[in-house]
Amino acid sequence: MTNEFQLAGYLAWKEIWRNKGRFFLVSLVIALITLLVLFIAALGEGLGNGNREYLSKLDSELIVFQENADFVIQSSRLSPSKVNAIRRVDGVAQAGSFAYASAAIVVTGEAEPVKIALIGLEANEPGTPTAVGGRPFRRNLADEVIIDSNTAYRSKLNVGDTLVLRTSQAEKEKTYDLTVVGIAEGQQLGLQPTIFVPIQTWEEVRPKSSAEIGNNSPTPNVAIIKIMDGFTAEQVRANLLAEIEKIEAGTLQEVIEALPGYTAQQSTLNTQGAFTLIIGILVIGGFFQIQVLQKVGQIGVLKAIGTTTPTVAIASIIQIVVITTIGVFIGALLTFLLSLGFPPSIPIVFNGFTSLIAIIALMAIGPLGGLVSIQYAIRIEPLKALGLSS
Amino acid sequence: MITPPALQTKSVIKTYQSDSGTINAVDSVNLTVNAGEFVALVGPSGSGKTTMLSILAALLKPTSGEVLLDGIDQSGLSEPQRVKLRREKIGFTFQANNLVPFLSARENVELMLKLNGRLDKEGKDRSVELLTRLGLGDRMKNLPSQLSGGQQQRVAIARALIHNPSLVLADEPTASLDTERAFQVVETFANLIHEQKRAGIMVTHDLRMCEFVDRVLQMRDGKLIAEYSGADQISNFMANTRH
C-alpha cells in the first residue's frame, strides 16, 4: 500500500508539474469561486452583524415585549409601570428600559445628514453598551451621548466633541447639541449606526408629532432583563409570563431572528453561497471529467503495464486535492487583499468561523466534483483504451 | 534437466457471443515460446492474433484452455494477480499511446522499476545504459511529445525490457514508422530479446519484419494454421504470402 501511495503521488505530481499551465488555470477557476463564496459569506456575516450587533453584544438573557409584538422592537410599547413591575419578578436581577427611534445627525462637511438609530437607555441598567473610550451615563437626563464606532467613523467625532442631532418636532426640524461622553465598539442595529442617550433625554429629543409635544414620560419599547444567578432564562420567562399580563419575553437569539428581514436576508445569502458551491462542484467536475476523457489511452497504458486501479484512483484524488488546495489558497489570499481596500461602511465582515466553514466547503468541491471522473478512471479497461478489444 | 518453455498455451479458446451466434476468436491454439526466442504472430485482420496477444498479455481471460507463463497458469488468476503478473513478468509495446506523456523518456523506462518497487541505483544505471544502447543517450530528458515515432518506440522497447520480464509482447510496433525506422526498431528489439534471453512475441501485418524473428506463427479464423522456422522457411513464407 505504501508503494501504491508513493507511486500515485509520483504520477500525480509529475502530471501536474509537466502541465503547470493547464492545472494552474483550473486552480484559478477554483480561486475565483473561492473569492465569490468568501465574499458572499463575509457579506452575509456583515449584513447579519449590522442587523444584530447591538443585541448580540448585550450582557443580558431576556427581552420583554408587549404582547403580540412578535419580538419586533418597533411594534412593542411598555409602560414605565410595567417595567417597574418586571423588576420585582422572581429571578429578575435588573431590568432596563430600551426606547428606539430613527433620527439623523449632522456631520460637518457632509451635505446629507447620517441616518442613525436613536436609542434611549437607563443609566446603570442593562442595555447600556460598554464604552471602550470615555464613560457610561451617570443620569437619565443629560445632554450626553454614547456613539458606536461606526457612527464615530462616519461622523469623525471623538469623546468630548459635540454631536448635532436633528429630529422632527411637530413638523419642524430641530437640532440638539449632545456631548459625546463615550464610544462603544460596533453596536449597529437594523443596519444603522447607533447613538445612545439617557432615557429622559431620548424622550426630549426623539421625533414627535404635535400631539406628543410636551410629554415628558418616556414609553420604552422593550425591557432588557438580566437574570439572577441560579435561575435559567426559561424559569424567569415563565415567572414573567405568570406574573405580568400582556407581555411576551424572548431570548436574544429569538429576538435576533425576529428582526425585520433578518432571516430572509440570511437565507438569501446562504442560498447564494450554496448555489455558488454547487456551480463550483459542477465546473470542477466537468473539468476533471474532460481531463479523464482526454487521457483514456494514457490510463489504459498505465493499467496494461501493471499499475493497479487503486493507484490510478489515488493519483486522481491527489491531483484534485492539490489543485483545489492551491485554488482555495489563492482565492483566500485574493479575498484578503481585496478586503483591505474596502471602507468600514461596507458591511463585509470576515468572521473566522464562517470563513473556516466556507473554506472547508470549498475544499470539498474538488473531490466532490471529481468523484465522477475518478469513477470513470477506475472503470477504464486497458483492452478498450488501447484498441485491443474485438 | 529440461528447461520448461517460457510461454506455453494449451487448447486456448476465446469465444464471443454475437447476433449471428458464437464466434471463436481464438480456436484451440497451442503454442510454445522458449526463452531467447523471438516469434512473429501474423495473419489477416480478424484472424484472432490481437485477441491471442491480449490473452497472452493477461489482459483477457480465455474461455477455456491454459496459458502457462514460467509454468504458472495465468488463466485461473484473480484480477489483482493478473495485474501483478503483467507488472512483474510481462513487457509491452503497443501501436499507439505507448508512453506516459508527462514522463520523460528515462522516467517512462524507470516507471516499470518503480511499479515493481525496484528503482535503486543499479536500476537507474541500467535504464541509462539501455536507452544509450538504443541511441537515446541525448534524449533521456525529453518528453514523448519531443521525440519522433521511432524514438518513442525505442523508449517503449526499453520500458518493456528494463524489469527483466519473462515475456515481451509487441503489438504492431512498426505501424506508425517509415520503412527504415521500422527495420531499425524491430532489429534492435530482436537483438535485445536474444541477448537478454526473453521470450518475445510480435504481432505484425508487415511481413517484411519477419526477417528478424526465429519463428513465424500464422493464424486464420482463430486457428494457428502454420508455423515457419529457420531462415529458408521464413524467407519462402515472406516471398509467397500476401495477406
pLDDT 10s digits, B23-82: 889 999 999 999 999 999 999 988 999 899 999 999 999 999 999 999 889 888 999 999
ipTM value for the complex: 0.90
**Percentages helix, strand, coil for chain A, rounded to the nearest 5?**
50, 20, 30
Q: How confident is the model at residue B187 (pLDDT cuts 50, 70, 90)?
A: very high
Q: Would the CB atoms of B115 and A307 count as touching at under 8 Å?
A: yes
Q: How confident is the model at residue A132 (pLDDT cuts 50, 70, 90)?
A: confident
B69: cell is 507463463
Q: How confident is the model at residue A120 (pLDDT cuts 50, 70, 90)?
A: very high
Show residues of chain B in contact with A17, CB under 8 Å. 102
HSE toward the beta carbon, residue A233, CA cutoff 13 A: 14
Q: Which of B50, B112, B117 lies closest to A3 in CB terms?
A: B117
B193: cell is 530479446
More confident residue, A5 or A216: A5
Query: Are β-strands A194-198 and A247-251 bridged in parallel, bridged antiparallel, or unpaired?
Result: unpaired
Phi, then psi, of B151 in degrees rounded to 5: -65, -40
Say yes or no: B221 contacts chain A, CB-CB below 8 A.
no
Set out the domains of chain B in order of their start, with CATH numbers. Answer: 38-60+73-240 (3.40.50.300)
A159: cell is 469623546
Helix (H, G, I), strand (E, B), or coil: what is residue A133? Answer: strand
Compute the distance between CA of residue A40 and CA of residue A349 in angstroms, rounded to an integer: 10
Average pLDDT across chain A, whole number: 89
What pLDDT, in 10s, does the model give residues B98-108? 799 999 999 99
On whether the CB atoms of residues B113 and B88 are closer than 8 A, the answer is no
Q: How confident is the model at residue A40 (pLDDT cuts 50, 70, 90)?
A: confident
- Is pLDDT of B177 > 70? yes
Compute the distance between CA of residue B10 and CA of residue B29 in angstroms, rounded to an integer: 7
Show residues of chain B in contact with A308, CB under 8 Å. 80, 83
Query: Are β-strands B64-69 and B223-229 bridged in parallel, bridged antiparallel, or unpaired?
Result: unpaired
Say yes or no: B27 contacts chain A, CB-CB below 8 A.
no
Place of cell 515472406: B238
> Pick from A132, A133, A199: which is nearest to A160 by CA?
A133
Q: Would the CB atoms of A308 and B80 count as touching at under 8 Å?
A: yes
Residue of B nearest to A17 (CA): B102
Other Cβ atoms less than 10 A from the Cβ of B2: the count is: 4
Nearest chain B CA: its distance from A389 CA (Å): 7
Q: What is the mean pLDDT of residues B117-139?
A: 93
Q: What is the mean pLDDT of residues A22-44?
A: 90
According to the model, what pLDDT value does residue A207 have? 93
What pLDDT, in 10s, does the model give residues A73-104? 999 999 999 999 999 999 999 999 999 999 99
Compute the distance between CA of residue B180 and CA of residue A139 in angstroms, rounded to an integer: 105
Helix (H, G, I), strand (E, B), or coil: what is residue A2? Answer: helix
Phi, then psi, of B85 in degrees rounded to 5: -60, -45
Radius of gyration in angstroms for the set of CA atoms belonging to chain B, rounded to a whole number: 18
Other Cβ atoms less than 10 A from the Cβ of A248: the count is: 19
Query: CA angle, B201 as apex, B199 and B207 as ends, to 5°?
Result: 140
Q: What number of C-beta contacts closer than 8 Å exist between A and B?
A: 78
Place of cell 474485438: A390
A105: cell is 445627525
More confident residue, A130 or A329: A329
Q: Which of A17, A305, A383 lies closest to B60 in CB terms?
A: A383
Place of cell 484480477: B79
According to the model, what pLDDT value does residue B25 have? 92
What pLDDT, in 10s, does the model give residues B146-169? 999 889 989 999 999 999 999 999
Q: Would the CB atoms of A304 and B92 count as touching at under 8 Å?
A: yes
According to the model, what pLDDT value does residue A311 have? 94
According to the model, what pLDDT value does residue B1 have? 58
Nearest chain B CA: its distance from A319 CA (Å): 14
Show residues of chain B in contact with A11, CB under 8 Å. 100
Q: Would the CB atoms of B50 and A385 count as touching at under 8 Å?
A: no
Compute the distance between CA of residue A299 and CA of residue A140 in angstroms, rounded to an integer: 79
What is the maximum alpha-carbon separation in chain A? 100
Phi, then psi, of A126 in degrees rounded to 5: -60, 145
Place of cell 440570511: A266
Show residues of chain B in contact with A390, CB under 8 Å. 16, 25, 50-51
Burial A306-322 (b: 16+ CB within 10 A, else e): bbbbebbbbbbbbbbeb
On whether the CB atoms of residues A322 and A24 are closer than 8 A, the answer is no
Q: Which of A10, A307, A386 lies closest to B94 in CB terms?
A: A386
Compute the distance between CA of residue A255 and CA of residue A235 in angstroms, rounded to an integer: 18
What pLDDT, in 10s, does the model give residues A212-244? 887 778 999 999 999 999 999 999 999 999 999
Q: What is the mean pLDDT of residues A304-330?
A: 93
On whether the CB atoms of residues A384 and A300 are closer than 8 A, the answer is yes
Give me the amino acid identity at A230. G
Compute the distance between CA of residue A37 and CA of residue A358 in angstroms, rounded to an integer: 7
What pLDDT, in 10s, does the model give residues B202-229? 999 889 999 999 999 999 999 999 999 9
> Pick from B7, B17, B47: which is nearest to B223 by CA?
B47
According to the model, what pLDDT value does residue B146 have? 95
> Cα–chain-centroid distance for residue A296?
46
B92, β-bridge pairs: B169
Q: Would the CB atoms of A15 and B102 count as touching at under 8 Å?
A: yes
Compute the distance between CA of residue A348 and CA of residue A237 in angstroms, rounded to an integer: 35
According to the model, what pLDDT value does residue B242 have? 59
Q: Give, in order, the Cα–Cα distances in Å from B191 to each of A295, B184, B186.
A: 33, 11, 9
Show residues of chain B in contact with A318, CB under 8 Å. none
Compute the distance between CA of residue A357 and CA of residue A20 in angstroms, rounded to an integer: 29
HSE toward the beta carbon, residue A79, CA cutoff 13 A: 6
On whether the CB atoms of residues B127 and B106 are closer than 8 A, the answer is yes
According to the model, what pLDDT value does residue A199 have? 94
The torsion of the CA quartet A193, A196, A202, A205, rounded to 10 degrees, works out to -50
Sheet with B223-229, strands from edge to edge, namely B90-93, B167-171, B199-203, B38-42, B215-220, B223-229
B138 DSSP 8-state letter: T
- Is pLDDT of A301 > 60? yes
According to the model, what pLDDT value does residue A87 have? 94
